[in-house]
Copies of this chain bind each other. A is one copy, B any other.
Amino acid sequence: MVTQEIDTPVIPRYLEILSKEVKIALQVQHRILLESRKTLNFLDFKEFLAPVVGPATDPGIKGAKQISFDYYGKSYKVMSSIILYKQALIRTFDNIYAFSPNVRIEPISNKKSTRHLCEFYQLDLEMRDKSIHDVMSKTEFFLVTLFKKVKRACNQLFEELERDFIVPQIPFPVLTYSEFFDIAQSMDYTISYGEEIPWEVEEELSKKMVEPFWIVDYPVGSRGFYYKENPEQPGTLLTMDLIYPEGFGEASSGGERETDVRKIKQLLHSTEENISNYKWYLDMLSVDGQPSAGLGIGIERLTRYMLGYEDIGNCTAFPKKPGMFSI
């Protein structure tokens, strides 16, 4: 194994932040944040302040490290996802959202990645008593409205970049995991059914598309413990990923939530997680498990797609690039 060292940026961020590229990105991002809220308010979503630390977060983050620390003698973590907290709050309102910060210390092997950050914001949506199909159609309406509004408001900035992106048609195309798997095999990738499809396949497919598209029905075992199995199609989960076209790849990931405590406990036992940290969550589901569905849309990746930028490091004010000593 080759030991990789942490890098120091060649140009300090306090200088890079003055570049035309970053300045345009931040103006577009400002507009994304503003118009998102207006549209979500119109759609009757309530915004809440995302928790940043807590006794439990999403254990299902592949390869990346979480931050643990001592909180009055208890082991707490910095949120790598607020999924469990959305499930708690959705019991109070029909539709909720937060712009939630997530920290995941990516493996240093992701150093060259142009689409990973160790700290990023998600627009986290959750809808009570709804299916993935409800969430998909609400998300499509939301995104089309947002694309239109940002395009109009930032018209001059996009012209300066000579960038154009399509305002997609509703409904977006939908692919199943099986179809996606077949595409991977036709591209001569040796993978077993149920595995995560390699990024290269997603990228190739994404390059061929001109509009965002969904991938649904991931197989059981491929995702976090909080996803619900499809009772009408055992072996598949009620999940959906949204993929940007033009090679930009994953936009969002989500699904319907499992509320069966026994199933969740089983899955948690098969991980290395300390179940006592999930006590409140399991208690809540036992007392008052609330069916819901939702997803999270990465804001820096959304900004990157709209701008057509290669490097996600230009899509936020203070990017934490993997393996980099970032401010």
Contact = CB atoms under 8 A, between A and B. Distances in A.
Given A37-B37, A280-B13, A101 B50 contact: yes
A273 interface: no
Chain A interface main SS type = mixed
Interface string A223-253: 0000000000000000000000000000000
A33 B45 CA distance: 12
- How many monomers of this chain does the complex have? 2
A48 interface: yes
A82 B13 CA distance: 15
Interface in A70-124: 71-74, 78, 85, 88-89, 91-93, 99, 101, 103, 105, 108, 118-119, 121
A204 to B, nearest CB: 30
A149 to B, nearest CB: 13
Interface string A179-192: 00000000000000
Interface in A1-41: 6, 12-15, 17-18, 22-23, 26-27, 29-30, 33-34, 37-38, 41
B29 A48 contact: yes
Interface in A280-327: 280, 283-284, 287-288, 299-300, 316-318, 320, 323, 325-327
A53 B320 contact: yes
Contact of A284 (B12, B73, B320): B12
Contact of A74 (B23, B85, B316, B325): B325
Interface of A: 6, 12-15, 17-18, 22-23, 26-27, 29-30, 33-34, 37-38, 41, 46-56, 67-69, 71-74, 78, 85, 88-89, 91-93, 99, 101, 103, 105, 108, 118-119, 121, 280, 283-284, 287-288, 299-300, 316-318, 320, 323, 325-327
Nearest first, the 10 closest Cβ-Cβ pairs linking A and B are: A14-B284, A6-B72, A51-B318, A52-B101, A30-B46, A48-B317, A67-B69, A280-B327, A14-B88, A33-B47
